[in-house]
Chains A and B, each alone.
Chain A
Amino acid sequence: MNWEIVMGLEVHLQLATQSKIFSGSSTQFGASPNVQADAVDLGMPGMLPVLNEEAVRHAVTFGLGIGARIGHRSVFDRKNYFYPDLPKGYQVSQFFAPIVCEGIFEVPLENGSLYPIRITRAHLEEDAGKSVHDEFAHETGIDLNRAGTPLLEIVTEPDFRSAEQAVAYLKALHSLVTYLGISDGNMAEGSMRCDINISLRKKGSDELGTRTEIKNVNSFRFVERAIYSEYERQAEILESGGAITQETRLYDADRDTTRSMRSKEVANDYRYFPEPDLLPIVIDEAYIDAVRQSLPELPTAKRERFLAEYGVSEYAASLLVPNHDMADYFESVAKASGASKLAANLILGDLTAALNRHELSITESPVSAERLGGLVSRVEDGTLSSKLAKQVFDALWEGEGDADQIIAARGLKQVSDSSALEAMVTEVIANNPDQVAQYIAADEAKRKKLSGFFVGQIMKASKGQANPQMINQLLLEKLESQS
């Protein structure tokens, strides 16, 4: 039987704010338990929420970033359920009237095409705290530092038909929100968490099957694996004539399976009603215009510009653009050197390899864009061969100064002085009469191969500093004159 997978995604995005959505507590990650939870976050008696303006601005920024309709009058609602990490016994969310309404998000796929995903809505809500299960033998510890962190929940229509599309969407979304500066996008710290609604149906069918929801998947890789694993599970049940139970499941990365979440089964009646402690958020056109004016260049536009302005390949653009910092770095190097293609090659080659090796992000690179630009310039003007460039790059990485200083200190300058090179060529020819004889006797094809021997000898003698193009030229002239 052939099954088609149908998925919708709900992404919980932590918005980059200093303070929480409804209180003045810090949102910083990693503090000791409960020191960043004030009376509001703890749901203490008599405490009231007051809305953070930055959270609203970020939400509107996102909405405009995907060209969605902004809710002119959005309302907070209470979502009621009991759980120890939910201090008030309700989560303040937006159910009836979200701040961001329908929109379309165009996801670039690997083949360069755009895949449109319908965004149903995006709404503001507060994050819950954290349950700590392994700290105590017989109890669960509750840390409410995260409670009240502003979230934007971004909900799509069931438009995904493959794990690849889902991951491409998440990557594009990650890229967009970091471009917009509304989230740090730090997935390891839970800044972007994904719920996946999955159902299967027979290929060609229009009906939706019963779905399950996989909660809180927090890496691209796990999303992909969770989808595969849940697909297998559902397909197996359906093929043996069974029925899917609508339920919430959790992806267990260690076992690479999903399992039912007991705790979420009890109460599914959230009894949403308008939060009486907060009033409607009214957003007028002037506010929307102001936010629109402040939008940065977005990934799709940047990609187009990189292709046109810098002449980089589609492939290079697809690697440079998604990470905003990487794109900025590239532009700085390209501008400093005036050699954009070379800059892209060096960044995506030696630099990326070194960063990966040391597990560093582009912003942590020990080689500044300015210094890398200096290196690119020296390759571009012929001072350095690609081989020498690698040596200089390594020295830059080790902090031995800028490219010119390293070239001078190590005497790495490529020898392009024709009289010096001519002397070298003459010497090699004189020292290798047998090879010269073979060359003269050979046909055109073989000659090419034999000339490599002479080049190698010369490079060896020059410690790699001879300009290969010039050597080739001189060698050819000399050998031709012998025959």
Chain B
Amino acid sequence: MAENALLTAPVSKLKQLLLDRTVSSEELTEAYLAQIAAENASLNAVVTVCAEEALASARNADAQIARGTTRSLTGIPLLHKDIFCTEGVRTTCGSRMLESFVPAYDATVVTKMKAEGAVMLGKCNMDEFAMGSSNETSFFGPVRNPWDLSCVPGGSSGGSAAALASGMAPLVTGTDTGGSIRQPASLCGVTGLKPTYGRVSRLGIIAFASSLDQAGPMARTAEDCALALTAMSGIDPGDSTSADIPVPDFHSALSTDVNGLRIGLPREYFNDDLDSRVRENVMAALAELERAGAILHDVDLPHSHFAIATYYVIAPAEASANLARYDGVRFGYRCDAPADLEDLYQRSRSEGFGEEVQRRILVGTYALSAGFYDAYFNKAQQVRRIITEDFQRAFEQVDVIACPAAPGVAFPFGSKQQDPIAMYMEDIYTLAVNLAGLPGLSTPAGLIDGMPVGLQLIGKPFDEQTILNAAFRLQNDTDWHLACPDLASLSS
């Protein structure tokens, strides 16, 4: 098999090759490490490479394959978003604040992927503290979109999406607080799944907004996402908000049968504000599902336009408290020669955090402060319920809700950075899903002027299976998900 074909093969294929002993995990790992070494200078998708550890665990995986004691991901190379704490491996969260932070513990997701035999290649760049939709807020510099190096990869899991799309790994992890898996998946032409809130443990994931954060996989296919989701999911005694709900084997339960599947199209999303070319691509993808037997319905999510306002109160408010621990005392960045305690706090935080993070801390602090709690935070929590109830009503009529994953394709660097609001609008189709705690995935829906667009499928709580099945069927019938950027031209 040609090197290049290995780099763009899905996990399901690689598993077969490993079990057939067509390729060893060590060879696979070397190939991906070589691809990172070759392309990362131009993409900046990976912030930390763990070559030696990766090769050691690849050899270990090969031994297991030889012994026949494999697990679901034995020998499969993987990159983690640098928001997952990794024992003994620097974990930066894209911030100067954690530039040299080495955790003494693994996130539960990291532990679980290890236990399933995955080989960690390194850590992916990301928007600082997952706050951003373009990967321009990273302290380690912006990530470039492998489809067009002058464009952003989306964010905040932009490093993960770009690394996957450019063949640096067949499987990556991300986190999604307001769209941070689905929007970069859309902009980079890969499949990204945000599970139901509580499906995947948050323990060891550096918190942005605790009631919205959820980790999930990004891969080349829905099938791979199903495989990875099964590995990542499950109740964790260390995370009080992880759900005590059985985890199905999403992979073995995959089905192409979408006959009679009711897919809802929210009128509020398919309105005049929707970019006509995005609409065209999304509708083309939905037409494929319709051909396969699915039934399209109009549905209403009457309060969906409140999602942005609601999100930009709740997420910053929770973040303002979650990020208070970065004070230069126990870990992380500490300013030089603090004059006193106040100086230590203020300079460590102002020098350690970037502009967007500081803005959100300020907004969140304001929304919780005396006299504003009721008008902002409490109000937003009430509207959150109203938005959630919209979904509950819609799901009485349909099984899946469909809409774009992002309002457009990848945009040029700097084009939205000066205006926080323009950037926030990148997530108009994804935020409400986090507010309601629902599962959502983005699957490739063709290209616009050579740049990928994603179809978002939203499911009922803990019903990832249905949206995975729909995407699985779509990918069975189309080849949008197989589209790759021209890897050969990347480094030139």
Contacts and interface: CB of A to CB of B under 8 A. Distances in A.
A84 B329 contact: yes
A303 interface: no
Nearest to B105: A39
B451 interface: no
Nearest to B331: A44
B329 A277 contact: no
Nearest to B104: A39
Interface string B312-337: 00000110110111010111000000
A142 B341 CA distance: 13
A272 B320 CA distance: 12
A82 B345 contact: yes
B327 A277 contact: no
Contacts of A42: 330-331
B325 A88 contact: yes
B36 to A, nearest CB: 25
Contacts of B324: 80, 82, 88-90
B103 interface: yes
B203 interface: yes
Given A48-B239, A277-B210, A80 B203 contact: no
Interface stretch (B218-226, B262-270, B366-374, B407-415): B366-374
A271 B202 CA distance: 24
A438 B203 CA distance: 98
B101 interface: yes
Interface string B85-119: 10000010100001001011101000000000000
Given A273-B317, A276-B318, A87 B85 contact: no
Given A269-B370, A277-B210, A45 B331 contact: yes
A266 B346 CA distance: 14
**Most chain-B CB neighbours within 10 Å: which of A84, A89, A90, A278?**
A89
B204 interface: yes
A43 interface: yes
A45 B370 CA distance: 27
B420 interface: no
A467 B370 CA distance: 80
A51 B324 CA distance: 21
B211 interface: yes
A80 B369 CA distance: 10
Contacts of B33: none
A193 interface: no
Interface on chain B toward A: helix, strand, loop, or mixed SS? loop
A132 interface: no
B325 A43 contact: yes
Contacts of A278: 240-241
A80 B321 contact: yes
A50 B207 CA distance: 16
A78 interface: yes
Interface in A342-360: none
Contacts of B203: 46-48
B8 to A, nearest CB: 32
Nearest to A274: B381
B162 to A, nearest CB: 24
B206 A46 contact: yes
Nearest to A140: B341
A261 interface: no
A49 B101 contact: no
A89 B330 CA distance: 12
Interface in A210-246: none
Interface string B71-93: 00000000000001100000101
A208 interface: no
A120 to B, nearest CB: 21
B237 interface: yes
B241 A277 contact: yes
A210 to B, nearest CB: 19
A278 B239 CA distance: 9
A441 interface: no
A442 interface: no
Contacts of A277: 207, 210, 240-241
Nearest to A45: B206
A314 B387 CA distance: 65
Interface in B203-237: 203-207, 209-211, 237
Given A87-B325, A276-B211, A50 B341 contact: no
A279 interface: yes
B199 to A, nearest CB: 15
B140 interface: no
B365 interface: yes
B472 interface: no
Give 6 nearest A-B pairs by CB, closest first.
A89-B324, A271-B368, A276-B210, A276-B211, A43-B325, A46-B204
Given A80-B320, A277-B240, A278-B240, 16 more contacts: A39-B105, A45-B207, A46-B84, A46-B85, A47-B204, A80-B321, A87-B329, A88-B321, A89-B321, A89-B327, A144-B330, A269-B370, A271-B369, A277-B241, A279-B240, A279-B241
5 contacts: A45-B91, A48-B240, A269-B370, A271-B321, A273-B373
